[in-house]
Amino acid sequence: MAINELYETMGLVRMVSVDPAGRAVIEYEARTNQCHSGGVVQGGFVSGWIDAAMAHAVIGKLGDGVVPMTLELKVSFLGPARPGLVIAEGWIIKSGRTTAFVEGSLKDAAGNLLATASSTLMLADRKRVEAAAKAATSS
């Protein structure tokens, strides 16, 4: 799947900010085709939106030569995400040479907190990740 297809599937509206201080804000359009019963967005999308914001916070600080790979992710669902605009935020708590600890949140357009998350990310070298992906698909 190409990156543009992934963004389309996730409902990306825009990258609001990716800050060199280690913060990112991303807007998504939650759609009805992302919902299960009762018009509630499936939790995987909620998790993915926050996960992406946390990863972009790391990229904002460390540059695009790093691929933040999720080692552990904990999401707390505080309220239902429904169709409409949602805002995912991510920020770095602590970062080292090979690992980063990040947190994030998801809010609706009115500012209501829908979910929070914390994650441990492995900081992988982009060239090595891309070479491994290329080798795996060519065999």
Q: What is the pTM of this model?
A: 0.93
pLDDT at 3: 72
Which superfamily, per CATH, for 3-138? Answer: Hotdog Thioesterase (3.10.129.10)
| Type of residue found at 10 | M
pLDDT at 105: 98
Mean pLDDT by 10 residues, the chain (139 residues): 82 96 98 95 98 98 96 98 98 97 98 98 96 88
> Who contacts 79 (Cβ-Cβ below 8 Å, separation ≥6)?
112, 113, 114, 115
Of the candidates 25, 27, 34, the one whose C-alpha atom is nearest the C-alpha of residue 13 is: 27
3, HSE (Cβ side, Cα atoms, 13 Å): 1
Q: Which two tokens stand for residue 39?
A: 């018009």
> Who contacts 119 (Cβ-Cβ below 8 Å, separation ≥6)?
51, 54, 70, 71, 72, 73, 74, 101, 102, 103, 104
Bridge-partner residues for 41, per DSSP? 35
pLDDT at 95: 96
Instruction: Please report, for the chain, the start and end positions of each structural domain, with discontinuous segments joined by +.
Output: 3-138
